[in-house]
């Protein structure tokens, strides 16, 4: 599995000025199994299409593109899996990764300087190492940005009974009568939060 994009291949085909590189790749969900941790909030549920242009700008690279796929999430209320579509345009600026100094202020000052410089031109910054961009990291970042604050299988998901764990979207349970007083239910809901 190769999820790295080699920056040294840019401009190889022309002797003079560097040309932009167009990247168009599709990754299968299985390719993400190794990189997406067990405790990650999502699973890749469909082939991932990554399309982007890479433009060299001095030491930095400007990367503009789009990633599309479907992700599987777990509902925060009923714990059932559900899918969301992802269609995320992105614009990133890759700057060389500088190893932080082992101790002292030099490393910190350098990092702060780079961050300030980056903040000025309003682009999200990422770092490249060993003349290559980690596309796995790039896509992971876009997936995380696409995740809802509170994943719900549907807006009105009823969730699980707090007492017996019954999925209340699918049925009722014996604990239900306790919730007949709506004021009490509201209060209990608040206390649960
Ligand atoms: Zn749900
Ligand atoms: Zn119950």
pTM exceeds cut of 0.85: no
Measure 191 CA to ligand 2 centroid, in angstroms: 17
Cβ-based neighbours of 176, under 8 Å, separated by 6 or more? 161
Q: Flag the least confident range among 7-11, 33-37, 138-142, 152-156.
A: 33-37
Q: What is the pLDDT of residues 65-112, one digit of tens each?
A: 999 999 999 999 999 999 999 999 999 999 998 877 666 554 444 444
Measure 147 CA to ligand 2 centroid, in angstroms: 30
Measure 168 CA to ligand 2 centroid, in angstroms: 8
Give, as residue ranges, everything with CB less than 5 Å from ion ligand 1: 75, 77-78, 153, 157
Mean pLDDT of the chain: 82
pLDDT the model gives residue 41: 86
Measure 72 CA to ligand 1 centroid, in angstroms: 13
Phi and psi (nearest 5°) for 172? -110, 170
Phi and psi (nearest 5°) for 182? -65, -35
């Amino acid at each position: 599995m190769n999820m790295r994009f080699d920056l040294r291949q840019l401009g190889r085909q022309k002797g003079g000025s560097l040309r932009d590189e167009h990247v168009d790749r599709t990754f299968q969900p299985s390719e993400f199994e190794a990189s997406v941790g067990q405790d990650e909030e999502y699973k890749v549920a469909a082939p991932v299409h990554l399309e982007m242009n890479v433009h060299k700008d001095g030491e930095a690279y400007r990367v503009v593109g789009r990633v599309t796929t479907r992700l599987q999430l777990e509902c925060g209320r009923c714990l059932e899996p559900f899918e969301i579509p992802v269609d995320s345009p992105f614009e990133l600026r890759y700057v060389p990764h500088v190893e932080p100094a082992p101790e002292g202020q030099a490393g910190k000052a350098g990092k702060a300087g780079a961050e300030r410089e980056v903040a000025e031109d309003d682009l999200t910054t990422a770092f490249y190492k060993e003349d290559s961009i980690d596309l796995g990291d790039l896509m992971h970042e876009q997936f995380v940005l696409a995740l809802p604050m509170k994943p719900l299988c549907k807006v009105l998901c009823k969730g699980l009974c707090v007492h017996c764990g019954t999925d209340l979207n699918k049925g009722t349970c014996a604990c239900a009568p306790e919730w007949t007083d709506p004021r009490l239910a509201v209060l209990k809901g608040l206390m649960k939060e």
